Structure 1
Amino acid sequence: MTVPTKSAGASALPALVDSHCHVVFSTFEADLDAVAERWRAAGVVSLLHACVEPSQIAPIRALADRFPELRYSVGVHPLDTEHWDPTTQAVLRQAALDDERVVAIGELGLDLFRDSNLEGQLAVLRPQLDLAVELDLPVIIHCRDAAEPMVQELRQRQAEGRCPRGVMHCWGGTPQEMASFLELGLYISFSGTVTFPKAFETHACAQQVPADRYLVETDCPFLAPVPRRGKRNEPAFVASVASRVAELRGEPLGQVAADSTANAVRLFCLPMPTASNSV
């Protein structure tokens, strides 16, 4: 997959992967080509587009046709459980089998911040975890105010030999919670929240996470990093996320870019970026 060459002024930029974005949303309809020009100019060589419910699969597939650096997931978000029915697992399975650009199952998980229907969310989560194991694909896990039940579910699966690999997306938990997910073999992904001045727990996690176990993402159009907080987020802004992680870790930006990109390539089996700007 070849990505258009960056401009001469951007040639020294490190290669970055936005490991979680949502550019299928209507907020990008008017200027997506310009948004793509900006992410390429910022050094973003690959994007992982998350899916929140089955009706998004065809539009996201069309975006992958349009932007060759884009890979995507298929899944149902914990706040979209109304989109799950007895046929949904088969729909997700077929979508993944039909397109090798599907590199993950999700965005799945638990969210007890916005909803309290834990049993309903588990009923949607479990068949997706099963599907990921069946297809040998990683999972993209949304977990908000639900670390304890998520760890419990995954530990049980690990004991039974059926816990998929994956990533804790848009990490906002504590270092102690992060340690539990790291023990389960999961990666930790940092979004624009790591740039927020009072996100002390997230800052500590970025400092403590092992170099071979973290990713960077935007979760755009949400959670734009400082100094764009409150505005529409976009994949180019993952550079700001990486820069803040580098500051927190006391490392050069190039090191954080290299580590996070290598980790994303390994987790999602992405083509490896090269000096010629192809991925």
Structure 2
Amino acid sequence: MSKLKIAIQKSGRLNEDSMKILKDVGIAIVNGKDQLKASAKNFPLEVFYLRNGDIPQYLKDGVVDVAIIGENVLVEKGQNITVAVKLGFSSCKVSVAIPKGKGYNSIKDLEGKRIATSYPNTVNQFLKDNNVNANLHIINGSVEIAPNIGLADAIVDIVSSGSTLFKNNLKEVDVILKSEAVLAVSPQISTENQAILNKLQFRLQSVLKARNSRYVLLNAPNNKVDDIINILPGMKSPTVLPLAEEGWSSLHSVINKNDFWEIIDELKANGAEGILVCPIENMVL
């Protein structure tokens, strides 16, 4: 029986988040310490633990069928590789940073300057798109130190919390790319493995939809039900059930977690009481 081969970062936060989402979609991985390959017990899937920067080439060569990888790495090294699903975790930015004491008005200020980066393809494309000529110094590792030792006037690197920039007396001045983890697909995936991938995608989308939603239960007087229904977005329409107390109903619906507080305040203003908000494990649409 064919198995879908998936590449995952060997270690670090992306590895942890990747393994968690596979667990959340019901896939049990049997892997020992320092193992480079593992199989799922209950799904036709093999996991390959690889260096993040090597994964795009494995996808291009068809060594693996799919990968959970940062969008930033795919943009830098994985041109023409398809993104099947955006996964919503491991968010970061590829940004321009300069010493705190320097001024910056626009990308044009980098004309003729020296830029240190681990993302030459991404930076070159960005400079080309903005008609800016600069000198790139390619560094694999601690890019942030380059301005402090006189190697560069600016850097382009991954920014998450910004603490590393702060420690190195740098400030973020421009964002080239916003990135998150994605499920990327090899151009050489077989028809048989594409069918397995379709099943995996369905599960992933159910979990991602659930992560971004909340289940809401509330009580309301019957004369306010129509007003509250107009507030609740729901998947189709809210469920309305009569309560034992005459003149009252219970309403059940699903809301986007990002709209949570705005909707709750509006519900309360329109007579809703006893509001319960619960996480959702899966949403099969």
TM-score class, shorter-chain normalisation, is under 0.3
Q: Larger C-alpha radius of gyration, 1 or 2? A: 2
* Higher RCO structure, 1 or 2 (CA under 8 Å, sep 6+): 1
More helix by share: 1
